Amino acid sequence: MITLTNLQKTFPARGSGVPVQALADIDLTIGRGEIFGIIGRSGAGKSTLLRTINLLEKPTTGSVRVDDVEMTALSAAELRQARHSIGMIFQHFNLLSSRTVFDNVALPLELAGMPKAEIKTAVEPLLDLVGLAEKRDRYPAELSGGQKQRVGIARALASKPKVLLSDEATSALDPETTTQILHLLADINRRLGLTIVLITHEIAVIKEICHKVAVMEGGRIIEQGPVFDIFAHPSHPTTRSFVDPVINRGIPDSLKDRLSPTPQPGANPVLRITFTGEKATSPVISAISRKLNLDLNIWHGQIDEIQGAPFGTLVVEALGDSTSVEAAVSLLKVNHLGVEVLGHAVPANH
């Protein structure tokens, strides 16, 4: 649905400053009907990337294809036409304070020159969809943040877009309202088959509704893939720093102090075993334990849910010689469990 190829964006220097390279070597493919999340810290280039999709930001070089149309090649009039099929919602809602809820949702249709009567029949179902039918004659100033974002969503859907771009749409909302808005977006995605690209600095948003995720840093995509895979096996340190607080892959601090990165006399290896829903672990682990005569001392265990699928982490200290530990690792791998040696546990009385 959306393909960004070798995208670069450099902002010219302001005053005596240096030019800012906001996007570098961006390659991204977003499938039809996907909810694609882009996460990164402030200044990573997320907004710039999102805005190149509807060409609010013109890339310095590279290609932006949306629904098989090369956006960078369009004339101004063609671009305006193309933008009718790309909705956008914003962190601060960007509603017109001078217009009622109904008239805000009607705006994109007015701009497209739709007759008044048709606008009415188009807007009313949208207000129902976002649950704001009874607020139709209210002004934005009379609405809560969550209600304002619902108006924003209805407005973005008015021209029946194929793609919805969301720039930190929940970042100004409280956690409860955030969840409601995210569920509304997921619902719209399912019901209308809408492709959603959302950017956020909150990993919880990614965890809640995204199918795929790309992690950005310094204008680059440092890691991307299905949300489950990225959460289960984050490879870049930045990704890990995002994922760790929500997926407790870590180990308690008291135990961390006992870990040495290198083997030591009398220190047992500490393994992190990760498993996903379908794979029953305890039989495997107890079988390995029995077969190899290896005692596994459980340090820490946790089960999370990512995208509705359970995801478990087990941190164990393997009390046995190095050959049986190696055998255990390969057996776990054969059983499709994730295994990682975290370090070597120095005995507590040291």
Ligand X SMILES: Nc1ncnc2c1ncn2[C@@H]1O[C@H](COP(=O)(O)OP(=O)(O)O)[C@@H](O)[C@H]1O
Residue 97 within binding range of another protein, rule CB under 8 A: yes
Instruction: Convert residues 46-75 into a mask of x (bound to another protein by CB under 8 A) and - (unbound).
Output: --------x-x-------------------
Look up residue 202 and give its amino acid.
Answer: E
Kindly state the number of chain residues that form the binding site for Mg ion, as judged by CB under 5 A. 1
**What's the angle, vertex CA 215, arms to CA 63 and CA 260, rounded to 5?**
145
Toward ligand X, which CB reaches closer, 11 or 139? Answer: 11
Residue 90 within binding range of another protein, rule CB under 8 A: yes
Stretch touching ligand X by CB under 6 A, among 37-45, 78-86, 114-122, 124-132: 37-45
Q: Which of 2, 46, 230, 312 binds ligand X (CB under 6 A)?
A: 46
Instruction: Convert residues 119-158 into a mask of x (bound to another protein by CB under 8 A) and - (unbound).
Output: --------------------xxxxx---------------
What is the per-residue burial (b if ≥16 Cβ within 10 Å, else e) of 166-191? bbbbbebbeeebbbbbbebbbebbee
CA distance 163 to 53: 10
Contact 27, 221 (CB under 8 A): yes
Is 107 in a helix, a strand, or coil? helix
Residue 170 within binding range of Mg ion, rule CB under 5 A: no
CA distance 200 to 185: 14
Residue 88 within binding range of another protein, rule CB under 8 A: yes
CA proximity to 34, closest of 1, 82, 65: 1
Is 173 in a helix, a strand, or coil? coil
Stretch touching another protein by CB under 8 A, among 64-72, 88-96, 124-132, 309-317: 88-96
Residue 40 within binding range of ligand X, rule CB under 6 A: yes
Q: Which of 44, 105, 198, 232 binds ligand X (CB under 6 A)?
A: 44
Contact 148, 139 (CB under 8 A): no
Half-sphere exposure of residue 13: CA atoms within 13 angstroms, side-chain side: 5
Which single residue is written with the structure tokens 């217009």? 99
Toward ligand X, which CB reaches closer, 22 or 267? Answer: 22
- Helix 101-111 and helix 145-157, axial crossing angle in degrees, nearest 10: 20
Toward Mg ion, which CB reaches closer, 47 or 335? Answer: 47
Toward another protein, which CB reaches closer, 165 or 292? Answer: 165
Q: Which of 25, 27, 70, 110 binds another protein (CB under 8 A)?
A: 110
**Segment holding 303, helix H or strand E:** strand 295-306
**154 burial type by CB count under 10 A (0-12 exposed, 13-18 middle, 19+ buried):** buried
Look up residue 223 and give its amino acid.
Answer: E
Kindly state the number of chain residues that form the binding site for ligand X, as judged by CB under 6 A. 11
Residue 83 within binding range of another protein, rule CB under 8 A: yes
- Residue 111, binding choice from another protein, ligand X, Mg ion, none, Cβ under 5 to 8 Å by partner class: another protein
Residue 98 within binding range of another protein, rule CB under 8 A: yes
Q: Which two tokens stand for residue 57?
A: 């930001």
31-50 binders of Mg ion (CB under 5 A): 47
CA distance 10 to 26: 13
Residue 338 within binding range of ligand X, rule CB under 6 A: no
Instruction: Convert residues 198-237 into a mask of x (bound to Mg ion by CB under 5 A) and - (unbound).
Output: ----------------------------------------
Residues binding another protein (CB under 8 A): 54, 56, 79-84, 86-88, 90, 92, 94, 96-99, 107-108, 110-112, 139-143, 159, 165
